Amino acid sequence: MPDKSNLISIYDTTLRDGAQREGLSLSLEDKVRIARQLDELGIPFIEGGWPGANPKDVQFFWQLQEEPLQQAELVAFCSTRRPKIAAADEPMFQAILAAGTRWVTIFGKSWDLHVIEGLKTSEDENLAMIGDTIAYLRSQGRRVIYDAEHWFDGYKHNPEYALKTLEAARQAGAEWLVLCDTNGGTLPHEISQVVREVVQATGGTTPVGIHTHNDADTAVANAIAAVMEGATMVQGTINGYGERCGNANLCSVIPNLQLKLGYKCLEDHHLASLTQASRFVSEVANLAPDEHAAFVGRSAFAHKGGIHVSAVERNPLTYEHLQPEKIGNVRRIVISDQAGLSNILAKARSFGMTLDKQHPACRQILQRLKELESQGYQFEAAEASFDLLMRQALGHRQQMFELKGFQIHCDIGVTKNALATVKVAVNGKDILAAAEGNGPVSALDDALRKALVNFYPAIAAFHLTDYKVRILDSGAGTAAKTRVLVESSNGHQRWNTVGVSGNILEASYQAVVEGIEYGLLLESATDLELAGSTVLVQ
């Protein structure tokens, strides 16, 4: 059994190894924002980049010298010196020293194949490169973490030589020996065995760390396996970003170690910010968050099946492996044709309505929901439409305006504009309005808002923020049904509505009209009443 008193030092390399992910490009400002977020999260080591490899990383370290992090150690990353030059003459190290960090991580070769074929040098020279580099940086007052690149592959092929490289690093003054599964193909049982052997071979003289890649989809399991064999540092990235298939995802490693195995990685109040940190980093990285990510994904605690919801309502432990609040996530109940009455009750509660299973409207709502879903409606992504459906069944849906019809003309010739005319009635008075737009849906939305704004001035702030179309039966050609999902906003909140029809304009019309109706409902309701179906605009 692991010694549970052990602290695990979390080492984040999102800004260096994470940035090696294809499609991820961070500006200097992005890097600074992410570093500050990780600092706030209580991560003790933050690898900022490779100073000297590019101007951005040089500036990043300079900027953080001016305005240092609050608690984290900022770490500069670099390779060992090149073959056959003195460490003091290696220009890369001048950039490393200029970065001004207390800690430096040096990666060196563990695998003889890389020494001979990659570096094109001798095994002895590689040992000297490792030793000289670390000794030089120590002589310049730096503390050194040694990343043993390709450790597991190297150890498999030539354990004696691999261990000599670690010993060279240790003797030169490295304070951590971090075993890297650089190619990411090692499986957990191999990691356990090798880490156990290394911990025995080094006799606990220098702490061991782990750095895993996800090429076999086992990076998180591998990091955990290493910790259970005595590794006390875990290197990884937020959201698992990294070269090829990514690095060990700290958003999974940390809660697994802390909440399941009893290790200490972060203070509990910091752990409760993990979900927010994950979303912040994906936002800054301009990558869509993985909604199904373990622990921090939006769906990680979303319950859809009626049986599950019924049980979770009685006791969340029935279908949740831990309390979402511990990592700052929330439980969500999803509405769909997989729902039972429990989903309806839970959703109603989140909309501020109290219902019980005996209420006759409950079954009616459930039946209507299933009927509409079988026609192609999808309410899990259109909770505002579901709220309106419930209000309708309960007799609470207020008619704010009556639709009398609409027409749309599209000019695909010279102006490429669309013109929409709508007729609505408010308080028995007919209003006709027209508007142009660069597409039929925006023209329709504008015309409707124009018709209603004198009666409902709040409409002036409404706008469409997203519009998604899905053809539901592509085999049916032009006779197929179309589902339109619309997201609307009033500048403070966003809400989603749905429309389905054989005619794409009719489907859009339904969704847009419900979007406006719901916006008006929001204006007249308290935040609490409508909390469940809207999100605050960030």
Ligand X SMILES: CC(=O)SCCNC(=O)CCNC(=O)[C@H](O)C(C)(C)COP(=O)(O)OP(=O)(O)OC[C@H]1O[C@@H](n2cnc3c(N)ncnc32)[C@H](O)[C@@H]1OP(=O)(O)O
Please report, as ranges, the residues that interact with ligand CC(=O)C(=O)O according to CB under 6 A: 17, 107, 147, 149, 180, 182, 211, 213
Both structure tokens of 40 = 């706030």
Q: How far is the CB of 103 from ligand CC(=O)C(=O)O (least distance, A)?
A: 15
**Bridge partners, 499 (sequence order):** 484
Q: Does 80 bind ligand X (CB under 6 A)?
A: yes
3-state secondary structure of 180: strand
109 contact, one of ligand CC(=O)C(=O)O, ligand X, none, CB 5-8 Å limit per kind? ligand X
Q: How many residues does the chain have?
A: 538
Give 24 or 469: the residue with its C-beta nearer to ligand X. 24
Structure tokens at 250: 């700290």
Token pair in block for residue 248: 């060990």
Q: Which two three-digit tokens encode residue 325? A: 């609040």
Contact between 246 and 222 under an 8 Å Cβ cutoff? The reply is: no
**Least separation in angstroms between CB 419 and ligand CC(=O)C(=O)O:** 58
Using CB under 6 A, pick the residue from 73, 132, 149, 380 that binds ligand X.
Answer: 149
Contact with ligand X (CB under 6 A) among 18, 51, 108, 297: 108
H/E element holding 425? strand 418-426
Q: Is 518 in the site for ligand X (CB under 6 A)?
A: no
Smallest separation, CB 535 to ligand X (Å): 37
Residue 50 engages ligand X in binding (rule: CB under 6 A): yes
Q: List the Cα angle 28/143/120 in 5-degree steps.
A: 80
Interface region with ligand X, contact rule CB under 6 A, candidates 101-109, 275-283, 336-344, 525-533: 101-109
Give whichever of 91 and 204 is closer to ligand X, judged by the CB atom. 91
Residue 241 found at the interface with ligand X (CB under 6 A): no
Query: Which lies closer to ligand CC(=O)C(=O)O via its Cβ, residue 237 or residue 273?
Result: 237
DSSP codes joined into one string, 465-493: EEEEEEES-GGGGGG--EEEEEEEE-SSE
The least distance separating ligand CC(=O)C(=O)O from the CB of residue 191, rounded to whole angstroms, comes to 14
> Helix 123-139 to helix 91-98 angle, to the nearest 10 degrees?
30
Q: How far is the CB of 107 from ligand CC(=O)C(=O)O (least distance, A)?
A: 4
Closest approach of Cβ 79 to ligand X, in Å? 4
Report how far residue 313's alpha carbon sits from residue 45's, in angstroms, rounded to the nearest whole number.
Answer: 40
CB of 64 to ligand CC(=O)C(=O)O, least distance (A): 21
Nearer to ligand X, 80 or 501 (CB): 80
Would you list the DSSP string of 316-374? GGGT-SS-GGGGT---EE--STT--HHHHHHHHHHTT----TT-HHHHHHHHHHHHHHH
> Of the two residues 107 and 386, which places its CB atom closer to ligand X in the complex?
107
Amino acid, res. 490:
N
Following DSSP, what letter does each residue of 362-375 receive, concatenated? HHHHHHHHHHHHHH
Shortest distance, position 232 Cβ to ligand CC(=O)C(=O)O, whole Å: 18
Per-residue contact string for residues 53-72; x = within reach of ligand X by CB under 6 A: xx------------------
Query: Which CB atom, from 109 or from 347, has the smaller least distance to ligand X?
Result: 109
* CA gap 508, 330 in Å, rounded: 31
Alpha-carbon distance 511 to 514, whole Å? 5
Whole-angstrom distance, CA of residue 43 vs CA of residue 234: 11
Nearest to 8 by CA among 308, 259, 234, 336: 234
User: Please, which residue, 211 or 449, has the CB nearer to ligand CC(=O)C(=O)O?
Assistant: 211
- Pick one of ligand CC(=O)C(=O)O, ligand X, none as the site partner of residue 50 (Cβ within 5 to 8 A by kind): ligand X
CA distance 238 to 227: 18
Residue 111 touches ligand X, criterion: CB under 6 A: no
CA 122 to chain centre: 44
Which of ligand CC(=O)C(=O)O, ligand X, none sits in contact with 211, Cβ below 5 to 8 A by type?
ligand CC(=O)C(=O)O
Residue 108 interacts, among ligand CC(=O)C(=O)O, ligand X, none and using kind-specific CB cut-offs from 5 to 8 Å, with ligand X
DSSP code at position 26: -
Specify the residue, 57 or 229, whose C-beta has the smaller distance to ligand X.
Answer: 57
Q: Which residues bind ligand X (CB under 6 A)?
A: 17, 20, 50, 53-54, 79-80, 82, 107-109, 118-119, 149, 182
